[in-house]
């Protein structure tokens, strides 16, 4: 399976702390930004209007190796590691000029969001799985797409 997506970006000034280094919390935002770009590349939005599906984060982590600073250009690689019945698990690596800066992971759950009801986990729709795996005809053949 793994499906990967690469996103290149530059550090903005507001993402840095008083020491001029990207604040650790921004790495989670970078991972989520790459996730949303992956979904758009698959022809979808993770927050589609008119649907009662939601995708809350149920786990996230990062390990840091090198700092990022204002104006640094870097790449975010997000990879789908697993699609289970009701959840998706990603891995994420941030690099600058081929040097590993950080590694992270995130797990999201598929839930139904209905007014006046608690969220309830639900199976991921087959068409979402097919698109995330890159199947052009909507089938669940599991073929990778880079």
In this structure, what CATH number is given to the domain that contains residue 38? 3.10.129.10
Return d(Cα 102, Cα 92) in angstroms, integer. 8
CA distance 38 to 5: 6
Q: How far apart are the first and last CA of the chain?
A: 10
Q: Is residue 141 part of a domain?
A: no
Beta partners for 59?
107
Give the chain's domain count.
1
Q: Considering the domain boundaries, does residue 138 fall inside one?
A: no
Structure token pair of residue 122: 């639900």
Asked whether residue 21 is domain-assigned, the answer is yes
**Residue 25 lies in domain:** 3-133
Q: pTM of the entire structure?
A: 0.87
Residue 140, pLDDT > 50, answer: no
For residue 98, tell me if it sits in a domain. Answer: yes
Q: Tell me whether residue 69 is in a domain.
A: yes
Residues annotated as catalytic are: 17
Residue 112 pLDDT level (bands cut at 50, 70, 90): very high
């Amino acid at each position: 399976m793994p499906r990967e997506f690469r996103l290149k970006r530059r550090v903005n000034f507001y993402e840095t702390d008083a020491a001029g280094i990207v604040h650790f919390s921004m790495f989670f935002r970078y991972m989520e930004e790459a996730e949303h770009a992956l979904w758009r590349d698959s022809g979808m939005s993770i927050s589609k209007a008119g649907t009662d599906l939601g995708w809350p984060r149920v786990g996230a982590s990062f390990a840091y190796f090198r700092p990022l600073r204002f104006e640094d250009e870097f790449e975010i690689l997000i990879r789908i590691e697993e699609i289970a019945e009701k959840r998706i698990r990603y891995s994420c690596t941030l690099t600058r000029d081929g040097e590993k800066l950080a590694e992270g992971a995130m797990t999201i759950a598929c839930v139904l969001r209905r007014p006046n009801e608690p969220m309830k986990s639900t199976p991921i729709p087959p068409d979402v799985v097919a698109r995330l795996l890159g199947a052009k005809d909507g089938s669940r053949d599991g073929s990778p797409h880079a």
